[in-house]
A = this chain, B = another copy of it.
């Protein structure tokens, strides 16, 4: 990591794609701070869906199905089904190996920060993927008359109906890690990726110390709107924004990050905030690199203008 990294806060696929584009632009100066509130312990493994999604994207190992390692097999899951297990959470064999080794490291007392670093190292990455915290934080969703652990909500809950509540269990006992605080304090730009503001970025900002670190960071803080062409590209962002009282628009996203942003990047106008209007669809390497490039230039201009 250089003296002045580019930090991306990332949840799911949108943040991971932007991170991949940014890797082309700044190389090993990239630091991703990833949501770990979707982590799940299952099949004897510790699975970190969001950090791993970012890592697989950065290492060009993401499978075309949109998650998991490229070309992974699913023989353990098939074996579980043969035993009569209801396999609601699907995990590839090599993906399981990653989670099994991670569980072993954590059980041996290793910090999650170091356990995740061992994967990026094994995949040959110079850029870093940091967990938002070393302590366990778990998103729980109150909907359909019950409390759902996040992964179960995403996979098993009906896809409609209002969200009654969202909470990040354990976040009060979590702390921003030295690595995250250090990266934020030295960042030339802090980019909030185009991820769900409520359930992907929300847990990161809820970790004690991170919101304060963003507010006091010398580098500009810029969000990229997850709303593309008036629609959410992927996932249940709209339902969660509605629960939080924000509309599914770049303006609603800016509102969700109230007071934290120096600017926003979106494909629609955003009143009351420095905004870069550009095409934010990142469906190919070229568009991912272009968006990353534009975001970084925009952040640089903001830094100069505000004389931060």
Contacts and interface: CB of A to CB of B under 8 A. Distances in A.
B103 A76 contact: no
A1 interface: no
* Most chain B CB within a 10 A radius of its CB, from A94, A95, A96: A96
Dominant SS at the A interface? helix
A123 B67 CA distance: 32
Given A43-B100, A44-B44, A44-B100, A93 B122 contact: no
Copies assembled: 2
B76 A96 contact: yes
Interface in A107-128: 118-119, 122
Nearest to A46: B44
Interface in A57-80: 72-73, 75-80
B103 A83 contact: no
A14 B96 CA distance: 34
Contact of A101 (B80, B95, B96): B80
A84 interface: yes
A85 interface: yes
A118 B82 CA distance: 12
A293 B80 CA distance: 36
A96 B122 CA distance: 23
Interface of A: 43-45, 72-73, 75-80, 82-85, 93-98, 100-101, 103-104, 118-119, 122
